[in-house]
Structure 1
Amino acid sequence: MKRTQSTMKSEGQIRLHKITSNKLAVMEAFDVSDHGELLRDIESDDTIHRSLGLCWSLKNDTFVFMVPTDEKPFTRRGLLSTVNSLFDPIGFISPITISGKILLRECTPEGVDWDEPLPENNILKWKEWQSSLRCLSDIAIPRMMSHTSVSLAQTSEVHIFSDASEKAIAASAYLRTVSDGLTSVRFIMGRSKLAPLKGHTIPRLELCGAVLATELAEIISVQLDIPLEFMRYYTDSRVVLGYISNRTRRFYTYVSNRVDHILRTSSANQWNFISSEKNPADSCTKCITNVTNIMQLPWIIGPQWLSDITEMEPTQFPLVEPDNDREIRPTDRPVTCVQTDVTITTSNLITKKFDHFGDWRKLIMGIAYLNQFCHKFKARHDKNLMLPIHCDEIHEADIFVLKQTQQENFYKEINSLKAGRPLAKDSCIATLSPFLDENQLLRVGGRINKAAGNLSSKEINPIILPKRNHISILLIRHFHEGVKDQGRLFTECALRTAGFWILGGKRMISSIIHNCVTCRKLRRNLETQMMADVPEDRITPGPPFTSVGVDVFGPWEVSTHRTRGGAANDGD
C-alpha cells in the first residue's frame, strides 16, 4: 500500500488517504494525516469507523449499530423517521426492523395525515418496540463470516432458509465451512419485506419467500464465488415443495412464473423440508416487540444442527391436494415435463463470456490464442511460448464463435435439420430455407445457388445470425468501421459481402449508427453564424431618407430559367 501510495502521488498526483485498518502495524506505517477521519487510538473501545453506513469497531473487528436516541412524535412522519433511521443492508437486525415496519402499517390508518396524531390503541406496542432498540447497542457481529477463508476450507456450503406469514416474508443464508475437523455455521445475510395486505394466501406468500431465497443465492454466488450447485434451500411449506418438484400438472400464471424463477437458479433436488421450530427465518416473520438480546435469536446464531448433518438424500415432494388447489390448472390428462438438453446450458455459459469483449477482432484473437494454448497443453509443449496466429487458427475461431451463437439461439432449428424434420411454422428463420453446411453452420438457402460464377459462395448462402445479440452487434460495429463510418447501405453491403445475414439487420445497423460517436460528429448540423447587432442608423428614429443604403455590387446573376419569352436571369 505504501508503494501504491507513492506511485499514485508521483505519477498521477493522486493522494491516497483516509486509510483505516484494524491492524496497528498497518496504521503505524502511514502518516497520521493519511488516517481516516475521526480515527483516534485503535486500541480504544470507542474507535468506530463508518463505511457505507455501517459502523465498524476497529478494536474488536466487529460490526456495531448506533441507535438514535431522540424522541419522535407519535405521528406517521415520526414513526417512519424512526423506522428508517436503522440502516441495515446486510440484514443483521431484520427481526427488529421488519417488526417496526409491521407496527408502522398497523398504527397508520388509511388516509391519515403525516403530522396528525395517531390513535392511542397501538401506542403501547410502539413504545415497547422502541425500548427494544436499546439492545442494538450490545450487538457485535464478527466481520469474518468463518473461522477460515472460504477458498481454504475443505468444504463450503450455503444453506438458505425461507419463511412467510400474513405479515412478512423473510429469507436468511448461512455459511457452513469444514476445515481441520472444525465445523462452523455463520450468518451471511438476510432479507425481509412486508407481505401484501390483500389477495395472497399463505402458500403464495411462502412461494414468494422461496423466490427471495433464490435471489439471496444469486447475490452470494457472485460475491463469495460459490457455485449455485453448492447451495441448499429449506422451507416449512410442503405445498411450495410440491410446486417446485411438480412434473405432471400445470399452474396458473402467478405460481408458474415464480416456480420458473426458482428453477432457473436452483433445482428441485436442492430443496428440503424443515419444521417451523428449526427454521431460523421464522423469527423474522413475526412482529417481535420485546427483544432483549437479538444475538440469541436463531436469525443471528443460525441453525447449529447444521454442524452435525451429513449428505442429505434428494427427496421428491408430491403436490398437496392438487384437485382442490386453486393454483393448479384442472386437467384430464397429466402433462410430463422434459428437462432441457444440457448442451444448451453449456453453450449459454460459453456465449456469456463473449459479452466481455467489445471488439470483434479482439474476441477472435482471444479465442484463437486460447485454442493455441489448449493444443499446447494437450501436446505438453512449452506453454509460455506463444506463436503468431495463422489464418487457419483465425478461421477456426470464427467458426467456433458463430457455432456457439447459433447453438444458443437456434438450437431447435439445428436439431430439426439434423434429424431431417421440417422447421416449426413459428420459427423466425423458416422463410429463409436454412440448411447446415460442412461446418454445421446455419446458412440461408434461397434461389440463387446457380450464380456461383458471379458471386462467392458466402454471398449466395450467408451465415444466419440472431437479432439483438452481442455477436451481431460486434460484427456490425466491425464492418461499420471498415467502411469508414459511412451510412447504413454501405455497412449492410459490407456485411452481406462478408457472408452474414443478421435478422432485423437494417434496424440494428440504423440503431448502432445512431449511437456511433464518430457518425454523430460527422452528421451533425452545420454551424450557423450569429447575426451582428443592427447598425445604430437603422434603429434611430428620424425623417425619411435620413439614412440611405445603396447597392453597389449588383446585380449578380445567380440562376437562369427558361420562360416563354426566352431565358430569364435572377439577380441578387
Structure 2
Amino acid sequence: MTRPPTGRLHRASWLWRRLGTSIRCRTLRAGRESDWRGQGHHGSSEIQVAPVKQVSLPRLELCAATLLSALVSHTQAIIELPIANVHLWSDSTVTLSWIQGHPSRWKTYVANRVAEIQRCTPEARWHHTPGEDNPADCASRGVSPKELVDHELWWKGPPWLTTTSGPWPAGPALAVTAEIPEQRTSYAASRPHPEEPTLLTRYSSLHRLLRISAWCRRWLRPRHARGCTLTVEELQDAEEMWIRISQACGYPEELATLSSNRELPRRSSLLKLSPFIDGKGILRVGGRLRNASLSYDEKHPAILPSESYLTRLIIEASHRRTLHGGVQSTLGLLRQRHWIPRGRTRVKEVIHRCVTCL
C-alpha cells in the first residue's frame, strides 16, 4: 500500500565557487494503517556558480535558499502526486531569520531574494539542519565519482529523514532582531506636542471653550460690570487668554528673548516673521504691513503654534464658518486674524479628518 508523500526535505548550502541544493521526497508506506515506515528518496538537485564578486557568507547562504525555493516550485509544478507538507532546510540561522521576516525590514539585496523565496514557496516550513547532515554540501563542496556511488548522505539523506514525524534536529535559537545583519535603517520623525492645560484639551469646540472660559473669568470683573449675557469683549478676552497660554507652551524661548529686548537666534523658526509682543502679551507677526490700511489683526496676526490643541480648534471653527470649504478658503479666513507656521499642511490634516467633508 502506497500513500502520497507527506512532505519533502530540502537542503541549501554554499561554497565559494558553487551553490548547491538538493531535494528529498519522503513517502510513507505501510502494510497496516498503524505500521508506517518512512523512506527518503533523492528527488532533484541543482548546482549554480557563485557570484564572482566577493559576497558575505550569509548572502551566499541566502542565494542558495533562493535557488532551492525556485527548484522546489518547479518540482511541485511538474510532479503528479499530491504534496502534504513542504519542509525546507538550511544550516544558516541568519538566512532563516531573514526568510521569516518581512522583506521591507531588510536592505535591497536581501529584500529582493526574501520576497522571491516567499513568493515561490509561501507555505513551506523552514528549519535548521547541522552542516554534517546537509546533503547539498556534497554538491557545493564536491565529491569524486567513486565516493558518490556509495554516498549514503547524498542518495538517502540523513538518518533521521526516515522517521515518521521526528525526532528532527532542533536548530539553535534564531538571532535576536537587533543582531540580524542587513536591516534597513528606519527613521521616525516625531513632532513635539507641548504640554497644555487640561481645561484646554477638555473641550472639542472653540465656541464651547470660549464661552465656559468667559463665564469663569466674569468673577475677575467688578460686580456692577457683569451683565446677564456674555459680551463680545468677554469672549475676545477669553480667546486672547488662551492664545497667550498656547504661545507660552509652544514658544517659551522666543517669548523670553523678545521680552528681554534681544534678537531671536538664527535657528528660531519665527525669525523670518519679525515677531514682536504687543501690549497684551501676545506674540504677533511684524513686517512691512504696519502702514497698510488694514485692521490690526490683519496687519499683525497672532502667531499660533502649529501643534497646539487651540490651533486645531481655531482651524475647525474657521472650516465650519466657510461652510466646510476647501483648504484655500479655510486658510484665507484663518489668516485674517491668526498666523500658523506650516498652516497649509495643518489645515489639510484637519480637513481630512472632517466627518462632514468625507
* TM-score between both structures, scaled by the size of structure 2: 0.45
RCO higher in 1 or 2 (8 Å CA, sep ≥ 6)?
2
